[in-house]
Structure formats: structure tokens, C-alpha cells
Amino acid sequence: MTDKTNPLFDLTLALADDALVLGHRLSEWSGKAPMLEEDIALSNLGLDLIGQARLFYAYASELEGHSRSEDDLAYFRDAAAYRNLLIVELEIGDFAHTIARQFLYAAFVHPYFQALTKSKDARLAEIAAKAVKEMAYHVRHTSEWMIRLGDGTADSQRRMTDALEELWGYTGEMFEMSVGERALAGEGIAPNRAALQAGWNATVDAVLREATLMRPKDRGMQHGGRKGQHTEQLDHMLAEMQVLARQHPGATW
Amino acid sequence: MVAIATLASPDTEVQRAREVAAAVLDPEVPVINLEELGVLRGVARRDGRIVVTLTPTYTGCPATAAIQMAVEVALLEANISGAQVETVLSPAWTTDDISESGRAKLKAYGIAPPNRTAPSGLFEVEIVACPLCGSQHTSKVSEFGSTACKAQWRCESCREPFDYFKCHR
């Protein structure tokens, strides 16, 4: 079964890839976050995302008749076969960059999962019902840090401003839908991403205001992740994430 | 007919399997069992085999696999062979599924049991009573702790640090 013939598989895989790639990025902070509490926090947030990714991969594997396992999908695809959003693959940068990315993404995916709990696809709905409770505190935790850093010292405000400027051009892709996803939305299986833009704007604007940060200007949006057109940062990340599985295929412990 | 047959000859192996699975302790909080944690969703016989149904807590909780394995081992040790352990996602687990006895055991172990509501507003201050001295004069050290389900708190009265089992719903 190829990707082109099954929009439900495509969507499930894209949701899995978003969660795994961002989860792996968060795990890169383990042992080196600016303070112990945030080291534990970012690892915990990453663990949530990797747990969500596993549920989506397991379902994707079922949808294509188990021709590839959950692990095959995660460890034996190259970057060009990954369907994640570009925003989740960017390098972690400094703490402000990581928090800003997590906030911008969580502020989208929390309402997305809320909508997905009403999907006519029972499996996606039940995965979303678990994930939505976790993304609620991702939004809360990162909103608090947006405010602390934005309304903090001159240095923390500068770092947060730089992070927002760099990330802003990657936010538009969250609201884009492929032809297949549009068809799923018409059937009540997938949420309409574009319909979530106004709510996301409201969440983001409220936090930026509280954080005394300016909303960056729209200067065109990057896209291509859903078609496998990625930054080279994803190649580097996958090389590290996949090396063990590829050097010892089929290894168990 | 099925109900009558069940009444006439209760499936003692299913009952025994249920008792065995329910008594398995949570690997990360080894004072409460799976029934008290609220993750044991059912034990039944299907096509001749015993089927134990569990539900995960957090999606990424590493204990999920350990719990499944612990149930399989416990059933084998009780001479219940060929049992199958399955996972269901819905309805999604919440900390309201922890039983009253589970909450009491958490507290006795030094872990503050979960509140009935999760914080919703930013910088919201939760009231969590110290499980050691009962004081409500406590403060949060870190929202995240040694496992996905716990936060680190400190009692400002008895000065002891403690874990809080976060409300998740």
C-alpha cells in the first residue's frame, strides 16, 4: 500500500511523525537544561510526545496491514519519507527557542486533539482523548515560561524575541491541509486545521501580551514537511535517533 | 442462557485470575495495586482463554510495559496458563479512577493523593496537604518529578519534601 492511496494512513503517520520528532528534540535536553526542574520537565514533556507517537505509529502500522511495524516506521525511514511539520524538526537552540517552539506547537495541537476526540474514526478519537489531557499542561507550562522570559531580563526578552522571529515562519504549516486530509475533514474524520487558526491566534496573542512580546510580522510561511521536503536538521536528528536500530537491525533486549 | 450458565457454574479460574491481576503492585508506586490504581479494566474468558484488559495512565508512561509483564508473570505463577493481556485506551484513565483505598495507601506511603481538579489558569496555586503532617502550608518545587504522574512539593510546616500525585483528567 502506498502513501497516496490511503489518506487515513497519511494523516496518522503525519501525527506520529510530529510527535516523535518533537519528542526526540525535547529529549536532547536531558542532562543539560538550564536548571534541574526544567531538565525533568522537558524530559517529561518529551516522554508524553513519544508515548503519543507510539499510539499513532501502532495504528498506522495496522492501517497498512502490519507490513511495517511501529519500530520500522520510526527507525527505517529516511528524512524524505518523514511527514512531520518543519517546526518540530528544527534544532533545539537555546532554552527560549525550545520553550517558544513548544508553546507555538502545543497551542495548536491541544485544540486540534480536542477536535480529534470527536473524529468518526474511533481509534484516532481515543488516542486524542488521552493526548489532549497531556497537551493541556504543555500549553500551561510553556505559557508560564513565555511570560517569565518575555517579561524577564533584557537578555531573556531578547532571546525570546529572536526565537519567535526565527520560528514564526514555520507556524503557517500547522494550518495547511493536503487534498487527502481535506477529504477526511469532509467525512468528519480529521479536524479542519484552518478552522483552528482564530483560536490559536487568540491563545498566542494573549500570552504574548502578558509576556510583553511583539507578535512577529508574517513574512511568508515555510512548508514542505508534509511532502517530505525537510531541512537538513532532520537528517542529522534521524542519523542520531536511528543509528542503533540500523546498525543492529532486529536487535532486542 | 449465557447468564444462567454463568450463575450455575461460576468460572472460578476467571475469578482467580481477576484476584491475581488486581493484586499486582504498580512498579513505580509499589504500595498500590492495579485495581486501586484504576488500570484493571476487566478479566473475562474469550474463546477459552483468560483475557486481562488493562488501560495505560499517561501515554508515555514506561511502567505500562512493566505492568503488562508483571500481570503475565503473576498469572503464570498462579498456574493460569495461556492468558492474554490486552490494552484499551478508552475511556481514558484519569486520577479519579484511583480508589479510596488507593488514595489512603498513597498518603500513608508519603505521596499526597491527587486533587479532584487540575490547574487550568496560568500560575494557578494548588492547595496540596502535606502527607506527613497534614499542613496545607506547602509549596510546589517542580511540576514534574521522578515519574510522569508526580510533582515535587515541600511542606513549609514540617519542612519535609514530598511527592504529589498530580491530578490528571
Structure-model confidence comparison of residues A4 and A179, the more confident one: A179
Mean pLDDT of A76-88: 98
On chain B, the residues whose CB falls within 8 A of the CB of A113 are none
**Facing residues of B164 across strands?**
B112, B151
Contact yes or no for A48 and B89 at CB 8 A: no
* Residue A113 clears pLDDT 90, i.e. is over it: yes
The reported pTM is: 0.94
Q: A–B: how many Cβ contacts below 8 A?
A: 72
Angle, helices A95-116 vs A36-63, to 10°: value is 40
pLDDT of residue B86: 96
pLDDT of residue B11: 87
Angle, helices A122-150 vs A36-63, to 10°: value is 160
Residues 6+ apart with CB under 8 A from B57: B37, B39, B63, B64, B93, B148, B149, B168
- Predicted-complex ipTM score: 0.91
Contact yes or no for B144 and A131 at CB 8 A: no
pLDDT of residue B9: 62
Mean pLDDT of A127-140: 98
Q: Flag residues of chain B having pLDDT under 50.
A: 1, 5, 8
Contact yes or no for A131 and B59 at CB 8 A: yes
Query: A1 falls in which pLDDT band (50, 70, 90)?
Result: very low
Contact B59, A55 (CB under 8 A): yes
Measured between CA atoms, how close is A57 to chain B, in angstroms?
Answer: 13
* Residue A3 clears pLDDT 50, i.e. is over it: no
Nearest to B30 by CA among B109, B146, B104, B107: B109
Contact yes or no for B91 and A52 at CB 8 A: no
Q: Convert the pLDDT of each residue in B17-45 to its tens digit.
A: 999 999 999 998 999 999 999 999 999 99
pLDDT of residue A251: 86
On chain B, the residues whose CB falls within 8 A of the CB of A43 are 144
Minimum CA–CA partner of B57 in chain A: A130
